[in-house]
A = this chain, B = another copy of it.
Amino acid sequence: MATINDVAKRAGVSKSSVSRVLNGNFEYMSEEMKNKILKAVEELNYRPNSVAQSLKKKSTQTIGIIISDISNPFWSEVLKGVQYECTRSGYGLMVSSSGEDAKVELENIITLKNKQVDGLIINTTGRNMDLFNQLEDEMYSFVFLDRFNDDLKTDTVIVNNILGAKQSVQYLIDQGHKRIATLLYPVENKSPRIDRLEGYKQALSENNIPIDEDLIKICSQKSESGIKATKALLSLPNRPTAIFSTNTLLNLEVLRGVREVGLNVPKDVSLFGYDDYPWVPLLDPPLSTVAQPAYQMGAKATALLINRMKRKRKTKPRIVQLDPELKIRSSCLPPSI
C-alpha cells in the first residue's frame, strides 16, 4: 500500500503539500504543484490510511451500536436506518450485540471505546448505569435507543409504548371485551415493558374494568413459555376473551398455544399483537398489531448522536418520542361468550 510519503517522493514535493491537496487546503497552491500531486496520487492509486488519520485527528469517523438481539427483525430494520444515516454523513459503523447480558454489554462498550469510536448508540440492558454516568462525565457521546432511563439525562429515542398498548387494549374494549389478558417478558427495569403494561392497565382503568392479576402473564424469554402461559390462560374457569401480546415472538407463541388447545383466533379468543412485518398480514389469521417505526428510530438516533458529537459543550439531553401505529386486521372479533 502506498503511503503519503510515496506520493510526496513521486511528485517531488513534501508530504505536507500532499496532505493539503487531499484535504482541500489548496487555495494558495500553484496549479502546477496541485496537478503534479494529483497525478502521483492517481498513478499510485493512493488512499489515505484512516488509522493514521484517526490517531492524529483523534476521531475515527466511526460510531458503534450495541443491540440486545441482532437477529431480531425489529433490530435489523433499526440497523437499516442507522446504516443509512451513517453513510449519509460519512461515518462507519461497528455493530455488536449484548444478548441482554449486562456483562457482555459492559465489555462491548469498553471494546468499542478502546477502538475509539466517536459515539455509541445503545439499546441498554439498563444495568450498567454507573458506567453510563461515567461516560456522561467524560462527555463521551452516546444515545439510548428504545429503552429509556429515568435517572440518566442523556439523548434518547423511544416510541410511545404506553400509547401503543393503551390504544390496542382500548380497541379490544371497544369490541366489547372485558376479560383481556396480556403476555409480557419480565419487566426488569426496561421501559418498553413497563410502559406496555402501564398502557394496558390504563386502558382498563379508564373503562372501569378491574385489573385481574391472573390475566397478566410474565413469560420467560427462553423456552416456549408463551405457549404454556396461553394454555394456562385458556384453561381458566373464567377464561379471557381477548389477549394482548406485547412482543413478536409472544404473538407467535399465543397463536400456537391457542391452536394447541383446539381453539381458534379470533372466533374463540381475540389477539392483538406487537410489531408489524410484511408477513403479519399473511398469518392465520391476519394479525392486528401495533407497528413501530423501526427504521426511523435508527435513523433518528444516529442523527441525534452525530449532532451531539459535533458540539463540544454540554447541551441538555433531547428525548425524541415517536408514535406507534395500529394496524387493524382480522384477529379480533367481539367476544363470543
Contacts and interface: CB of A to CB of B under 8 A. Distances in A.
Nearest to A286: B284
Most buried by B among A1, A49, A60, A95: A95
A295 B57 CA distance: 38
A111 to B, nearest CB: 7
A49 B116 contact: yes
B71 A76 contact: yes
A93 B94 contact: yes
A61 to B, nearest CB: 9
Interface residues of A, number: 49
Contacts of A94: 62, 92-95
A110 interface: yes
Given A48-B114, A115-B50, A96 B83 contact: yes
Contact of A49 (B112, B114, B284): B114
A28 interface: no
A49 to B, nearest CB: 6
A236 interface: no
Interface string A73-105: 101110110010001000011111100000000
A224 to B, nearest CB: 10
Nearest to A134: B45
Nearest to A81: B71
A255 interface: yes
B93 A87 contact: no
Contact of A113 (B47, B110, B111, B138): B47
B73 A73 contact: yes
B110 A51 contact: no
A10 interface: no
A92 B79 contact: no
Contact of A114 (B47, B55, B255, B279): B47
A337 interface: no
A285 B284 contact: yes
A249 interface: yes
Contact of A76 (B70, B87, B116): B70
Contacts of A138: 1
Nearest to A108: B87
Nearest to A248: B279
Contact of A282 (B71, B76, B256): B256
Interface of A: 1, 47-52, 54-55, 60, 62, 70-73, 75-77, 79-80, 83, 87, 92-97, 110-116, 138, 249, 252, 255-256, 277-279, 282-286, 295
15 contacts: A47-B110, A49-B114, A71-B80, A71-B295, A76-B79, A83-B97, A87-B96, A92-B111, A94-B94, A94-B95, A95-B95, A277-B279, A279-B279, A282-B284, A284-B284
Given A62-B94, A252-B278, A252-B282, 17 more contacts: A1-B138, A47-B110, A48-B114, A50-B114, A51-B51, A51-B60, A51-B116, A73-B73, A76-B76, A76-B79, A79-B95, A83-B96, A92-B112, A94-B95, A95-B95, A284-B285, A284-B286
